[in-house]
Amino acid sequence: MNWFFLALLGPLLYATTNYIDKVLLDKYFKQKGVGTILLFSSLLSVIALPFIFLVDHTVFSMSARDILIMATVGGLNVGVLWCYLLALKHEEASVVIVFYQLVPVIGGILGYFFLGEILKPLQIIAMAIVIVGTTIVAFEIDSDNHFKLRKKTVLPMLAAASFWAIGGVIFKAVALEENIWRTIFWEHVMLVAVGVVIFIFIRSYRDDFLSAFKNNSKTILSYNVANELIYITGNVIVAYTYLLAPIGLVLLTESFQPIFVLLIGIFLTIFFPKIIAEKIQARHLWPKIIAILITLVGTYLLFLK
**Cα 97 from Cα 18, distance rounded (Å):** 8
**Cα 295 from Cα 305, distance rounded (Å):** 18
| pLDDT score recorded for residue 176 | 61
3-state SS, residue 62: coil
Residue 285 has, within 13 A of its CA and on its CB side, a CA count of 11
| pLDDT score recorded for residue 44 | 85
159 is in which domain, residue-wise? 2-302
Residue numbers in the chain where pLDDT is lower than 70 = 1, 30-32, 115, 143-145, 172-173, 175-178, 216-217, 246-248, 305
**Cα 284 from Cα 272, distance rounded (Å):** 19
* Domains of the chain: total: 1
Amino acid at 80: V
Q: Which residues contact 35 (CB under 8 A, 6 or more apart)?
A: 198, 202, 204, 205, 208, 209
| pLDDT score recorded for residue 160 | 95
Asked whether the whole model's pTM tops 0.85, one would answer yes
Are 99 and 154 in contact, with CB atoms under 8 Å apart?
Answer: yes
| pLDDT score recorded for residue 173 | 67
DSSP 8-class letter at 305: -
